[in-house]
Amino acid sequence: MKKLWGGRFSKQPEEWVDEFGASISFDKQLASHDIKGSLAHAKMLFQSGIIEESAYENIKNGLQDLQVQEQEGKLEYSVKYEDIHLNLEKLLTDQIGPDGGKLHTARSRNDQVATDFHLFVKEETLEIIDQINELQNSLLNLAEDHVETIIPGYTHLQRAQPVSFAHHLLAYFWMLERDKERLQDSLKRTDIMPLGAGALAGTTFPIDRNVTMNELGFSKKYLNSLDAVSDRDFAIESCSNASMIMMHLSRFCEELILWSSEEFGFIEISDSFTTGSSMMPQKKNPDMAELIRGKSGRVYGSLLSLLTLMKGLPLAYNKDMQEDKEPVFDAVKTVKGCLSIMTGMMNEIKINEDRMNKAVHQDFSNATELADYLAKNGIPFREAHELVGQMVLHCIQKGCYLLDISLEEYKEWCPIVQEDLYEALSPKTAVEKRNSEGGTGFQAVRQQLEAAKSAVFIS
Ligand code: ARG
């Protein structure tokens, strides 16, 4: 069967070679964007006097029919027509006759595919922003209930200083906020229209790129046709943004996994997001959190594929670039799936305040409080640090904590100690009072919550 570009050829590739070269198996995802692009292009061709009205009407009706069939999942594509662009052109021509062949005037698949891809990435970026917003809202709800819930704060995964649980949750809120900002910013470089660049050099037809730009809702056009067809920065940026989001979700999941272990017991992940074991009846595994952590790998992989794909390509279009779509499709699908699961998981999470409270009373994370207490009472901090270190060692040897030491014993160790030390050493005081800007003090966290609330859209 003859190719749509077959004029120059005397021999057809065999089917297995066609299959190797085809992208229809995955770029069919761009069908709706391709039809949208074609509708805009056809309108512009007519308005610029390049095709006559009857041809335009025919093409428009045909494309609209295809649009309906596409939405209903009724279009049938063939590997023989290589990609979504040629498949749709073939379907259109079968439907409306030779006028279908006029659609591709002043256009190349090179500017066509780039346009479809920009439309796709733009749409998905907006969806991801909405999804992040939902996750942020669920974190905010949880944080509001837990300003005064105290958990151990860690450095090196060793107990460091107690913190407000809301403060800990809000740390993730701000990571997501930066992710959202990055996505928003990347739209500036995605929202640019390549259409009208032709194969690489523009066209001699009197096209009007403002018409297609407005029709397609782009806010800018590429100003260099070579750049227009060969730029994939926006795709790389979308994978980079997705990677950063996954890195954040993965860190969060790592904590959820730790916290839901018997050893921590701080939270319980809802049954809806966990699974059992086929052998061990007692098990409740945090599978979804683990999967999110695991899936970060494939998203990083997408980013690396694209960077590597593009690094050696001369201008302008090269067939290598057909490999640009699957990594982006996969990264976008993965990140969206992970964000939904994460939001669902956070909405149903159970917080075990008792275990958190117990944990902060069974450690030495108030040692800094003791050193600060001594420092406030005139002992140079360095000396206080040394003294407290000795006291911690003493407690470890005795098998007790700083709050278990009697006042008499404290006085023997350091005579300036008074009864008010116990108040200072309580984890609640340790957290409550850290009201420096951005600190974990209750008041500071409440202020932070207000700032966070004004950052998310009202949903
Ligand atoms: N399927 C191709 C791609 O995804 C479309 C562009 C093909 N252009 C060409 N001149 N072969 O990149």
CA-nearest residue for atom 1, ligand 1, is: 83
428 Cα: distance to centroid of ligand 1 (angstroms): 63
Q: Are residues 348 and 388 in the same domain?
A: no
Q: If residue 238 lies in a helix (H) or strand (E), which one and from where to where?
A: helix 233-259
Q: Are residues 287 and 190 in the same domain?
A: yes
- Per residue in 378-414, pLDDT (tens digit) is 999 999 999 999 999 999 999 999 999 999 999 999 9
Q: Are residues 158 and 281 in the same domain?
A: yes
- The answer to whether position 126 is within a domain reads yes
* 0.85 surpassed by complex ipTM: yes
Q: Are residues 434 and 337 in the same domain?
A: no
Q: State the pLDDT at residue 13.
A: 83
- Across the chain, what does the average pLDDT equal? 96
318 Cα: distance to centroid of ligand 1 (angstroms): 8
CA-nearest residue for atom 4, ligand 1, is: 322
- The answer to whether position 295 is within a domain reads yes
Q: Are residues 347 and 382 in the same domain?
A: no
Query: How many Cβ atoms from other residues are within 10 Å of residue 246's Cβ?
Result: 27
- pLDDT beyond 70 at 210: yes
Catalytic residue among 54, 272, 277, 340: 277
pTM for the full predicted model: 0.94
Q: If residue 215 lies in a helix (H) or strand (E), which one and from where to where?
A: helix 209-216
CA-nearest residue for atom 3, ligand 1, is: 322
- pLDDT beyond 60 at 459: no
- Per residue in 256-279, pLDDT (tens digit) is 999 999 999 999 999 898 988 888
Please state, in angstroms and rounded to a whole number, the distance separating the CA atoms of residues 72 and 68.
Answer: 6
Q: If residue 333 lies in a helix (H) or strand (E), which one and from where to where?
A: helix 325-347
- pLDDT beyond 60 at 453: yes
320 Cα: distance to centroid of ligand 1 (angstroms): 9
41 Cα: distance to centroid of ligand 1 (angstroms): 18
- The answer to whether position 274 is within a domain reads yes
- The answer to whether position 111 is within a domain reads no
> For residue 342, what is the domain's CATH number?
1.20.200.10
Q: Are residues 269 and 123 in the same domain?
A: yes
Q: Are residues 187 and 333 in the same domain?
A: yes
Identify the domain boundary among 48, 74, 105. Answer: 105
108 Cα: distance to centroid of ligand 1 (angstroms): 9
Evaluated on CA atoms 32, 37, 40, 46, the torsion sign reads: negative
Beta bridge partners of 221: 193
Q: Are residues 80 and 193 in the same domain?
A: no
- The answer to whether position 284 is within a domain reads yes
- The answer to whether position 199 is within a domain reads yes
113 Cα: distance to centroid of ligand 1 (angstroms): 7
17 Cα: distance to centroid of ligand 1 (angstroms): 16
Identify the domain boundary among 304, 319, 354. Answer: 354
Identify the domain boundary among 354, 370, 404. Answer: 354
- Which residues form the domain of 389? 359-455
- pLDDT beyond 90 at 249: yes
Q: If residue 267 lies in a helix (H) or strand (E), which one and from where to where?
A: strand 267-268
> For residue 438, what is the domain's CATH number?
1.10.40.30
**Tokens 């590597």, located at residue:** 308
Q: Are residues 173 and 195 in the same domain?
A: yes
Assess contact for 238 and 324: CB atoms under 8 A.
no
Q: Are residues 381 and 405 in the same domain?
A: yes
Please state, in angstroms and rounded to a whole number, the distance separating the CA atoms of residues 261 and 265.
Answer: 6
State yes or no: cis peptide before 359, omega within 30 of 0.
no
298 Cα: distance to centroid of ligand 1 (angstroms): 25
Q: State the pLDDT at residue 2.
A: 73
CA-nearest residue for atom 11, ligand 1, is: 319
Ligand 1 first shell, C-beta below 6 A: 23, 27, 83, 109-110, 113, 317, 319, 321-322
- The answer to whether position 212 is within a domain reads no
Counting atoms of ligand 1 from 1, which one is nearest the CA of 23?
1
Counting atoms of ligand 1 from 1, which one is nearest the CA of 325?
4
> For residue 92, what is the domain's CATH number?
1.10.275.10
Catalytic residue among 10, 156, 406, 459: 156
Query: Residue 262: what are its φ and ψ, rounded to 5°?
Result: -50, -40
Pocket probe for ligand 1: among 86, 104, 109, the residue whose CB has the most ligand atoms within 8 Å is 109
Burial 205-214 (b: 16+ CB within 10 A, else e): eebebebbbe
Pocket probe for ligand 1: among 110, 117, 195, the residue whose CB has the most ligand atoms within 8 Å is 110
Query: Is 10 a known active-site residue?
Result: no
CA-nearest residue for atom 12, ligand 1, is: 322
Beta bridge partners of 192: 220
Evaluated on CA atoms 104, 36, 50, 94, the torsion sign reads: positive
Burial 402-425 (b: 16+ CB within 10 A, else e): beebeeeebeeebeebeeebeebb
Query: Is 277 a known active-site residue?
Result: yes
Counting atoms of ligand 1 from 1, which one is nearest the CA of 27?
4
Least confident piece of the model among 3-7, 48-52, 63-67: 3-7
Q: Are residues 145 and 33 in the same domain?
A: no
Domains contained in the chain, number: 3
- Per residue in 286-334, pLDDT (tens digit) is 999 999 999 999 999 999 999 999 999 999 999 999 999 999 999 999 9
- pLDDT beyond 60 at 101: yes
Q: State the pLDDT at residue 283.
A: 82
Q: Between 6 and 93, name the one with better pLDDT.
A: 93
Pocket probe for ligand 1: among 117, 322, 323, 326, the residue whose CB has the most ligand atoms within 8 Å is 322
Q: Are residues 258 and 350 in the same domain?
A: yes
- The answer to whether position 253 is within a domain reads yes
